[in-house]
Structure 1
């Protein structure tokens, strides 16, 4: 790895010659600006305002623009001769617990490599001291034209340095948090904990840049004269209003994605008043149905009784009429017979 800075670590009276190399690398895809009509490259040319001509890179230097607009030239030699002990030295100023460093201050990361055989012993001494103390070293160093703050820690068998922002470069989180009062229930926290337990364990080596891979597929397809792959349809979900339901669904989905059995999550019991209404309505419906059935039975019974009474009345009337008719006929017959007998006697 190519070094970007050469100097020494100042550890009290101990000086450790080191080389600084980048600890990270970018895999992002870069694009060129082109003329859309013919695909020609777009390039920027650098012109001098006073001479109105293009200048080469070797003719370009640094300058500071003053308040009145005048330019003060600054050369690399001027910066190299800065009266700072950190110009070529990473000066350790303190050792503190690692949790004292706010991650918001973390910046670029570098590896510090021992420069030559004489640096091996003091380099190893500093590394082992950091390991045994479980602390990190806070240091000041100058890089790329300005003094910076750094944190030294052990990574494997090497010493790494993280550039740190100065405390006044980190903004306070004012106006970021919700400005309304919100109450979180214990059940919601329990579900959030369950979701964190499910999603919390992951091997960082398994994570990769899917966006970069998708861009590479598009580039490969267009280079081969093929149509680029189409984007999948985004999931159309409605606005989630029930936080509990969203948490429960998230826990189930996370467990299923890991091949685990769906989470058995029980909802909080609802209020009794909320359940009383349906039961009361059901009771009313049942009572109405019972009353209606009883009314039908009573009506049918009354109708049947009325029919029987009417039939009995008709039969009694018919019987009475027949009896009266028989008596009347008998009287007429007796009277007729008496008259005939009397006539016969007079004739004799």
Structure 2
């Protein structure tokens, strides 16, 4: 494996000579541009605008273009002389928990190997310190004309580095989420949980690039002069109004069939229980309602009793008045 950068890891007063190697590789099939009329290769040539002629790679340098369009040549020696400690070193700034790193900041991955016999001991020291602390190291370094952030972690017996974007390079997700107010029902969430549990976990090593395989088969067929017979993939359709519950249930059944489980039974949906606070609030409301109803009943009964008493008093008064009146003569 060929190194792409040499320098040092600066760990306090400890300096660890290292070499940087790419940790990943690209397996995608590359295409060349051709002239469709005759199949001729289309190439890009680097041409000097002043002389109008093609130049070789060893004749090409760097320049900074200012606001007026003037080009200011910058040499590799100029960059190497920058007063930065990160020019030829990975400066460890801090040790943090890996959970503190936003995955959106993660970029390319590299392996850092010890450069020479003398680097073996300090390299192992940093590796074991990272292991025991269960933390990652945040580092700054200069690479390809700019200062960058990196995250060091242990992979097997090696130290790996992930390039990190600066925080201000990560865009906010404004305008991405649906603007419409959407309510997700508890039953829908339960079915989604069931579907997640049915799909289960996966061994990433078992996944493979089916597009790459189909593309290789297509190229092989073209080389042999055969006509490709593969059916085209389904085109994505536009947004459709669907029965979400039915779609979730069908998804659960399909997932169970794929795993060889019986899929005829209905998906089990667990009813969500109300939180303790809500339940207590409901009980309190019910008690208040019962108390109000009881009070209203008592009040109505009291009114009826008072009315009866009043009517009885009036009847008694009438009878008493009638007795007190003198009888008419001759009656």
Q: Does the 8 A contact of 1:217 with 1:229 survive in 2?
A: no
Q: Deviations over 1:118-169 (max 9, x none)?
A: 1111111111111111111000011111110000011111110000000000
Q: Which residue of the partner structure matches residue 249 of structure 2?
A: 248
Q: 1:65 to 1:184 in 2, by over 3 A?
A: same
Q: CA deviation at 1:87?
A: 0.6
Give 1:212 shift.
1.1
Is the Cα–Cα contact under 8 Å of residues 191 and 269 in structure 2 kept in the other structure? no
User: Unaligned regions of 5+ residues in structure 2, if any?
Assistant: 272-331
d(CA) in 2 for partners of 1:8 and 1:33? 41
Give deviations 1:78-106, integer Å, cap 9, x for gaps: 11111110011000000001100000000
Please report the TM-score for the alignment, with normalisation by the length of structure 1.
Answer: 0.74
CA distance in 1, matches of 2:145, 2:225: 47
Question: Which residue of 2 is the match for residue 196 of structure 1?
Answer: 196
Question: How many angstroms apart in 2 are the aligned matches of 1:138 and 1:236?
Answer: 42
TM-score norm. by structure 2 comes to: 0.77
Alignment of 1:140-151 (within 5 A): 140-151=140-151
Kindly name which structure, 1 or 2, has the bigger radius of gyration based on alpha carbons.
1
In the alignment, the residues of structure 2 paired with residue 190 and residue 183 of structure 1 have an alpha-carbon distance, to the nearest angstrom, of 14
For 1:342, the equivalent position in structure 2 comes to none
Alignment map for 1:1-348 (pairs within 5 Å): 1-232=1-232, 234=234, 239=240, 241-262=242-263, 264-265=266-267
SS in structure 2 at match of 1:3: coil
Which is further off, 18-27 or 195-204? 195-204
Q: Is the 8 A contact 1:112 1:160 kept in 2?
A: yes
1:60 is displaced (CA, Å) by 1.3
Contact 2:190-2:270 at 8 Å conserved across structures: no
Query: Are the counterparts in 2 of residues 89 and 141 from structure 1 also a CA contact under 8 Å?
Result: yes
Query: When you count helix as a share of all residues, which structure comes out higher?
Result: 1
Residue aligned with 1:241, SS = coil
Q: CA deviation at 1:108?
A: 0.3
Q: 3-state SS of the aligned residue for 2:7?
A: strand
Alignment partner of 1:252: what SS? helix
**Deviation readout 1:293-321 (Å, 9 max, x if unpaired):** xxxxxxxxxxxxxxxxxxxxxxxxxxxxx
Q: CA RMSD in A?
A: 2.0
Shift >6 Å, 4+ stretches: 235-238
Q: Using the alignment, how far apart are the partners of 1:203 and 1:94 within structure 2?
A: 33
- Ranges in structure 1 where 5+ consecutive residues have no aligned partner: 270-348
Question: 1:204–1:267: structure 2 CA closer, same or farther, 3 Å change rule?
Answer: closer
* Cα shift at 1:236: 9.4
How much does 1:234 deviate?
2.9
| Number of positions where the alignment pairs a residue of Structure 1 with one of Structure 2 | 269
Matches of 2:180 and 2:240, distance apart in 1: 20
